[in-house]
């Protein structure tokens, strides 16, 4: 009866080995065992894996920090403070699909600007009736303290990651475009009565950008995916009090921006996007 020889390390043939690389299945000795996500790999497979994964840069903003994120938070807080002083400002900046008259804290429908003024109210034109600025300004408008607190905490946590990945000016443009995308879906599918406001659409857009960048760079999605899934569940569970159209519109816009930035083929268009 013949006895099969014990396997030996492929790099050290004088060493018996009963452990195999999880990637190439070659025998490896303890000196060649490199810890991997599952089991152990040989040094060559570890180096090959490191070359195939694009490494993200550390968050290093220099002495000034993520200034665009700080500026966006500051603008939102300044607008909120102005609304506390003059509540009627909220109606001028919020997104209205139809002309809106607010008098003594109550909405009054069917009034033009003259009729609203006669009632002593504040008139806000519909977005297509002379108020196109509302598509953007609504993303900087909050009324309740809990609303601006949750949005600004989210922006403070997510914004620096996107600002580092895209660069300051591209990040600023992406934030505004995501807010615009949320507003456009509100216009297309939102209620015809009332108004919407808040930075949630833009923040959902930043989440969408991060999801695409994580996928492109081979980074784990467990935590980010859990955050996004939780926010989507809350969006639809609370659809009577939040604008799901704004959230989904911002998210879809962010996914599109992330894909455009991350997957544009190398060449002139890529250089323009990443300049």
User: Catalytic residue numbers?
Assistant: 200, 247
Q: Residue 80's pLDDT is what?
A: 96
Q: Which pLDDT tens digit goes with each residue over 110-149?
A: 567 777 776 677 777 778 777 899 999 999 999 899 999 9
Architecture of domain 67-273: Up-down Bundle (1.20)
**Strand order through the sheet with 100-103:** 106-108, 100-103, 122-124
Confidence at residue 72, expressed as pLDDT on a 0 to 100 scale: 97
Q: In sequence order, what are the residues at sequence separation of 6 or more whose Cβ sits closer than 8 angstroms to the Cβ of residue 56?
A: 165, 217, 219
Cα separation, 54 vs 30, whole angstroms: 28
Q: Give the Cα separation of 264 and 243 in Å (integer).
A: 32
3-state secondary structure 57-115: CCCCCCCCCCHHHHHHHHHHHHHHHHHHHCCHHHHHHCEECCCEEEECCEEECCCCHHH
Domain ranges (residues) in the chain: 1-44, 67-273
pLDDT, tens digit (0-9, with 9 covering 90-100), for 54-84: 444 444 555 467 899 999 999 999 999 999 9
3-state secondary structure of 124: strand
Tokens linked to 180? 């615009």
Report, as ranges of residue numbers, the positions in the chain whose pLDDT lies below 50: 1-3, 53-59, 63
258 SS3 class: helix
């Amino acid at each position: 009866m013949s006895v099969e020889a014990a396997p030996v390390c492929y790099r050290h043939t004088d060493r018996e080995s009963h452990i195999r690389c999880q990637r190439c299945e070659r025998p490896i000795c303890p000196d060649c065992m490199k810890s991997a996500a599952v089991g152990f790999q040989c040094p060559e497979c570890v180096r090959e894996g490191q070359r195939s994964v694009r490494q993200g840069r550390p968050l290093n903003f220099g002495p000034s920090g993520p200034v665009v994120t700080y500026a966006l938070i500051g603008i939102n807080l300044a607008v909120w403070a102005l609304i506390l002083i003059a509540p009627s400002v909220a109606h001028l900046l919020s997104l209205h699909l139809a002309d809106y008259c607010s008098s003594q804290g109550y909405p009054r429908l069917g009034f033009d600007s003259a009729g609203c003024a006669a009632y002593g109210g504040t008139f806000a034109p519909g977005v297509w009736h002379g108020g196109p600025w509302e598509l953007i300004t609504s993303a900087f408008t909050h009324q309740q303290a809990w609303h601006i607190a949750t949005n600004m905490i989210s922006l403070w946590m997510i914004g620096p990651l996107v600002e580092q990945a895209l660069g300051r000016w591209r990040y600023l443009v992406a934030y505004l475009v995501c807010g615009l995308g949320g507003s456009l879906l509100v216009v297309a599918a939102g209620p015809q009565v009332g108004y919407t406001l808040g930075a949630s659409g833009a923040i959902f857009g930043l989440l969408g950008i991060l999801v695409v960048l994580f996928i492109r760079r081979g980074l784990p999605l467990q935590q980010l995916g859990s955050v996004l899934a939780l926010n989507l569940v809350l969006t639809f569970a609370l659809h009577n009090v939040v604008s799901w159209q704004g959230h989904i519109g911002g998210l879809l816009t962010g996914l599109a921006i992330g894909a455009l930035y991350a997957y544009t083929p190398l060449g002139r268009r890529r250089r323009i996007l990443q300049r």
